[in-house]
Amino acid sequence: MAGNSKPGSSKLSAPWDPDAEDEELFGDESIVEAGRRAAPFTYVHDWVPLSGVDPEAKCLYNILRMYVFDKTGTRTCGPRQDDLALMMNLSRGDKLSKWFKQLVKLGAIEVTAWGLPRRNKYRVHETPPPDYTGPLTIKEWKRVHHDQRVNRREAAQKSNKAKKEGMRTRAANR
């Protein structure tokens, strides 16, 4: 329970009322306590989401980054695959292998087996490997995918136009 109390006193008082006259609040001794803190967050550099890996691989990379930041001062983590699967709403850890392979091939992570019983050690990279040629920024991604974006936009416009024509035709025939 947070509240104000006199230094050296175990008695807690009610939270301070800013409208009340209370000379004790301006004494020589004060106590500062931490209040609500921001929820932890994990940042993911743009190159992995823009690389073309499956959405599940992007999610797995983000979860691995959360583990790295949970281990302050290190760049390695060793979570159980069943825990990772649970975070991704999968029934078993062995269902992650496809996305681990994508991240390893991309150069976003390195996986090393160690110990008995066998455990995996994941090294999660922030920057792409030197041979990475994919987009690093959204601007580069837009440039690389310009034709696809234009074609999709035109296809959507044609589809919307056809739907509207169909609705007009059905409405006219009623």
Lookup: tokens for 64:
């691995």
CA atoms of 17 and 14, how far apart (whole Å):
8
For residue 25, the model assigns a pLDDT of 56
Block means of pLDDT (10 residues each) for the chain, 174 residues, are: 48 63 60 75 87 95 85 67 92 92 95 80 91 93 88 87 87 85
Structural domains of the chain, with CATH = 47-124 (1.10.10)
Please name which of 99, 19, 115 lies closest in space to residue 58, comparing C-alpha atoms: 99
Provide CB contacts within 8 A for 13, sequence distance 6+: 3, 4, 5
For residue 115, the model assigns a pLDDT of 75
For residue 86, the model assigns a pLDDT of 94
For residue 109, the model assigns a pLDDT of 93
